[in-house]
Chain A
């Protein structure tokens, strides 16, 4: 049986599932097969109000990777915030820079806190190497500005997510944009001093530790930057699956 036949069988199983348990199993199987044709069905599964199925579908979409991005951007559900949050999570997990504008808009302006949270997280996990080299720094600064704004979000979980992204961004730009990295460490210190939420302050402390560890490594292992460049040239997940 080729992939296409398998996909059809698995997709039908999802469509015909008549209980939430069967739906969960069917989506898990479809997701595990990681076949590009299943993308629309997996995206539809984000809207079934079945959190288990949605988790499986997100994992499946992330495994398919870049090939799922255009459909995700196109089919994102403007009317169902729960489905939208899962779709944003999938985009965040894939990290494709084509999702940048969608993530920026969602993180700053979506009315749903779960969408803002997922988008804020996604801004820290972008695959910078997909961008033309001359654009990387300006986009990183654009993302940084957005994250500094998102740190003012009224919901703790959105600020928490923004902190995780500030952490990864600070580490990414530590040597290339040291002045901008300093803005991040200042922001984190300010949040540690003033944020009203203990969970957020705790995450800030953890971020500070990670950033310090990395600075430590920079000093004692200057080869690290070279390794980063090499890593970025390995084809990422998804590309080899077609």
Chain B
């Protein structure tokens, strides 16, 4: 999940969360079927935000993936988007198959949310459906000539395939390193690193940290944290971006170190990252 800075910052429910209204779990689940479309939309977000993993919540949200009532003037499905996003956070694998169906939805943002949530749910059964969607951007093993192609949520798809370790998709992922949209390139580099562990792809992201646009540097910080690329530690610390984002990125490196060290002692890499993190507090 590249590029959504609001998720990094200050969403903590400290004090009065200022939600406008405070829901109970029962109310939120009931509101998914409220006559008021605004309440349905809010309830779907709320159930995800507070990770209400109850069976009734999951069932209600899965049902909301087929909602026809809430439409934007352009034909989008706001409730479906929120429901798809929430289901990723709830971690219930019952949602996998309905989310795969959402990859065919006419609304781009529903497809994007479904891809992101399928990544979070981590079930490789969705890999063929994701790779079909990726192929929309390809002719054989090259990008389609009509560029820039924004017809599919390539970023989310690429990230999901990387996280799901879909090594069989490497030939489909690789061409997206040349995509004209930088965020898509980074998502491809991130996935290629996860799928191959070749430093060249990590270095491509490190190089992007020196880029001009703050928005892009923020996205790359998230990517490097997600792949835990240790050699990026100094570049992460030094790039021009908010410390909050650098800290999250470095935490990704740190956790990767800990998860990949067999012994109980801290590795030299972990200690290096800790010292950098301390310097950014």
Binding site for B on A (CB under 8 A): 24, 51-52, 55, 81-82, 85, 89, 92, 111-114, 117-118, 120-121, 154-157, 160-161, 164, 198-199, 202-203, 205-206, 209
Residue of B13, B14, B259, B270 with highest tally of chain A CB at under 10 A: B14
Which residues of the other chain, A, contact B150 by a CB distance below 8 angstroms?
A: none
A92 and B251 alpha carbons, distance in the complex (Å)? 22
Residue of B243, B259, B270 with highest tally of chain A CB at under 10 A: B243
Q: Which of A51, A117, A164 contacts B240 (CB 8 A)?
A: A51
Min CB distance, B159 to chain A, in Å?
21
Tell whether B271 is near chain A: CB-to-CB under 8 Å: yes
CB of B281 within 8 A of CB of A160, answer yes
A120 and B259 alpha carbons, distance in the complex (Å)? 27
A160 and B271 alpha carbons, distance in the complex (Å)? 14
Cross-chain pair count, CB within 8 angstroms: 70
Q: A202-B274, A206-B274 are in contact. Are A113 and B10 (CB under 8 A)?
A: yes
Extra contacts besides A89-B281, A114-B10, A120-B281 (13): CB < 8 Å: A51-B243, A92-B281, A113-B12, A114-B9, A117-B244, A118-B281, A154-B14, A157-B248, A160-B247, A164-B281, A198-B255, A202-B270, A206-B270
Which residues of the other chain, B, contact A113 by a CB distance below 8 angstroms?
A: 9-10, 12, 244
Tell whether B242 is near chain A: CB-to-CB under 8 Å: yes
A209 and B270 alpha carbons, distance in the complex (Å)? 13
Q: With CB as the reference atom, state the residue of chain A lying closest to B248.
A: A157
Tell whether B130 is near chain A: CB-to-CB under 8 Å: no
Chain B interface, number of residues (Cβ within 8 angstroms) = 26
Tell whether B277 is near chain A: CB-to-CB under 8 Å: yes
CB of A202 within 8 A of CB of B254, answer yes
B contact face: mostly helix, strand, loop, or mixed: helix
Q: A24-B240, A114-B243 are in contact. Are A202 and B255 (CB under 8 A)?
A: yes
Which residues of the other chain, A, contact B12 by a CB distance below 8 angstroms?
A: 113, 154-155
CB of B14 within 8 A of CB of A111, answer yes
CB of B254 within 8 A of CB of A114, answer no
Q: A51-B214, A114-B243, A161-B281 are in contact. Are A199 and B254 (CB under 8 A)?
A: yes
A161 and B10 alpha carbons, distance in the complex (Å)? 16
Min CB distance, B278 to chain A, in Å?
6
Which residues of the other chain, A, contact B241 by a CB distance below 8 angstroms?
A: 51
A contact face: mostly helix, strand, loop, or mixed: helix
CB of B9 within 8 A of CB of A111, answer no
Which residues of the other chain, A, contact B270 by a CB distance below 8 angstroms?
A: 202, 206
A121 and B254 alpha carbons, distance in the complex (Å)? 19
Which residues of the other chain, A, contact B258 by a CB distance below 8 angstroms?
A: 198, 202
Tell whether B140 is near chain A: CB-to-CB under 8 Å: no
Which residues of the other chain, A, contact B244 by a CB distance below 8 angstroms?
A: 113-114, 117, 157
A217 and B151 alpha carbons, distance in the complex (Å)? 63
Tell whether B266 is near chain A: CB-to-CB under 8 Å: yes
Q: Which of B242, B247, B278 contacts A51 (CB 8 A)?
A: B242
Q: A51-B240, A51-B241, A82-B242 are in contact. Are A157 and B247 (CB under 8 A)?
A: yes
A205 and B270 alpha carbons, distance in the complex (Å)? 11
Min CB distance, A213 to chain B, in Å?
12
CB of A164 within 8 A of CB of B242, answer no
CB of B10 within 8 A of CB of A117, answer no
Min CB distance, A96 to chain B, in Å?
18
A161 and B12 alpha carbons, distance in the complex (Å)? 16
A45 and B254 alpha carbons, distance in the complex (Å)? 31
What 1/0 mask marks residues of chain B from 177 to 208 whose CB sits below 8 Å from any chain A CB? 00000000000000000000000000000000
Q: With CB as the reference atom, state the residue of chain A lying closest to B278.
A: A164
Tell whether B15 is near chain A: CB-to-CB under 8 Å: yes
CB of A199 within 8 A of CB of B242, answer no
Q: With CB as the reference atom, state the residue of chain B lying closest to A156.
A: B251
CB of A203 within 8 A of CB of B10, answer no
A82 and B274 alpha carbons, distance in the complex (Å)? 23
A130 and B130 alpha carbons, distance in the complex (Å)? 62
A221 and B185 alpha carbons, distance in the complex (Å)? 55
